[in-house]
Chains A and B, each alone.
Chain A
Amino acid sequence: MIGRILALGLAAGLLAQPAMAQDKVKVGFIATFSGPGGVLGQHLYDGFMLGVDHVGGKLGGLATEVVKEDDQLKPDVGLQVAKSLVERDKVDIISGIVFSNVMMAIYKPTIDAGVPIVSANAGPSPIAGAQCSPMFVNTSWQNDGPHEAMGKHVQDKGFKNVYLMAPNYQAGKDSLTGFKRFYKGKVADEVYTTVNQLDYSAEIAQLRAAKPDAVFVFYPGGMGVNFVKQYAQAGLIKDVPLFSAFTIDATTLDAQGDAAIGTFQTAFWAFDLKNPVNDKFVSGFQAKFKYMPSTYSAQAYDAALLIDAAIKANGGKVADKKALMAAMKTAKVDSVRGGQLKLNTNNFPIQSYYLLETAKGADGKLVSSNRGVVLADYGDVYAKDCPMK
């Protein structure tokens, strides 16, 4: 009798074991949760967790654990938490990552340790180009995309004399380079300001004196709040239309208030894109988190859906990371963008960029609404440099 129970138990144990080994997937989610950039991490994380929720709390049908870590917007801290996620927590995948400088710090060490990265935001040009890897996938955009799209829009609209402004660091220079890749008219002036500058009155007075017919700026985070408010207060917005990327979105609108009305942005996604996945995402997000999702939330939601689909396509296995990443390329994912997520040869999305206009919505709250496609099915200029091996 006892022997039989033992045998049964043993058999059950043996049967259970192979399933046990595949039972779990552990995702390390690195983002900036503290400091002024912390709001971006929150939007990203909430979007990702909603994605996990919407696939039944189980990515690829496996019990899912998401380990959340704060990089404090410091590359060295990012590297430290990435190492501990890989070595101590033994995560299967690393996702999240808001800022490109953090991404560049963790990129090589993580993929060299055999852990794939699914970037939910950062898309720096080196990784899209020469340093691309099959162990890396991006579900947002290559950094230049929205700037290029705005360059095209401003060009298409016939503006001839545009004033350009950005912070004096790499992303600022990349932004204006991206813009000028599609905008071919005259540049009234190209102004770089100190990072995290508070007061723009001097620059706005120079801008007014230059008499441009439009202005394009890239001022992420708090800089965007400062600039847009001061630009509107200077009474310029009705004479010189304000075009921007990463400056006005759901993470900043509450702080910018009416100053942002009548401005235009470009992005790969808008809250009012009409498709079933997006409807479910936007309504689910607002119901759960009680605030308006941003592009950050949308692309992180897609990251969760992509991981889910890839594990399923790989037969519910996560141990073989090469096979898992190959499955990312073939997996069918219905994206918030509408239709299926398309990855380019460099594992960055091929997607359309939209023009958004900020205005008061039906309920009196400010929203940036879709005003149509600017750049259709666009990859990026770096993919041609990617050997992908």
Chain B
Amino acid sequence: MDILVLGMVFFILLALVIGVIISRVSKSSKLEEELREEKELTHAIVASMGEGVLVLDTDYDIKLINPQAEKLLETTAKEAVGQKWAEFVKAYVGDQEITFDKRSSVKTLASGEIKITSIGDDHYYFTRSGRKFPIVAITAPLKREGKVVGVVKVFRDATHEKEIDRMKTDFISLASHQLRTPLSAIKWFTELLLDPAAGTLTMEQQGYAAKIAVSTDRMVSLVNSLLNISRIESGRIMIDPKPTDLLELVESVISELKRKMDTKGHKFIINTIDKLAPIPVDPKLIGHVYANLIDNAIKYTQDRGDISVFISKKNDEIISQISDSGFGIPVNEQQKLFQRFFRASNAIKHVTEGSGLGLYLVKAIVESSGGKIWFKSEEGKGSTFWFSLPIAGMQPKKGEVSLDS
């Protein structure tokens, strides 16, 4: 009897243990299956993406390449995996090869930040068969438990976009140049009309003709802005860096704006925290940035306001700060400030003229110089704009055109 009970208890226990083991085993095999399915799905997603996908490790070795990237780069996974990415596929800005430390993957790995390469950046890949094609790309850090363990790059062939972009730019350029002929005729005949040599106009007629002259000049400067934008966007603009003393550059810009500033009775202060060594920038491009920001400060500040420029050094950047005590930018419009043709609602009330192209162009210049632009503003109190330039300066670039030509 005892033995029987003992045997039964033993049997029940055994069954329980086996049951637990079986359920564990089936659970773990289910987990394994789920894991496998997920892995297959991830693999299928990466494999069927229309964009090229690359994964690099912290040594910039290619860890993964998807079929679309194989196709675009004219290679195979077998050939590519394990290769040094920067050597395997050369990258260019325009016709200039991008040096190792300027490659997006290197920058992303160092900073842990996402880097977006858009059509305006004019980036190209060079395959080993010699095909060069424009790309747009997103380079993101691959993070595991908060640590950057590599880089994921998603890119695509932007040949078609490049072509459309070029056509758009060519059209703007052509149309703007065409507009200059009738504009010159209006400008010159208005000048002749206002000249007493052509006979005397009544005061009223003179007033009308003077208004035609002012409007024509506005149109001329609008055409210039459009042309400048098409030049920057096309990437055809030449960048000719020269060692430049930024303080002197601001002073030369100010001398042109001085009359405007005096008319409005503004107080102007220019300052720099330490002696700045000249940095290699294109004085024409960066001069345009200062001129535009200071001109805005003059225009959008009530008479007898305060305007200041402050240049300082922070790590490996030069920061320029342009402040005013002006109208400010309404909070709900601030995110649109750098958009093409945008003008703040209070700015339009105070100053009717203006194209809404100035800051758009300024941002494009700063970013193409390797810098950033940002601002703080409060309505009724004023605005402060900052822009940074790398202390190493701008990269020279051959081009067919320059600003204001």
Judge: A and B partners, yes or no: no
Q: Which residues of B contact A (CB under 8 A)?
A: none
Residues of A within 8 A of B (CB): none
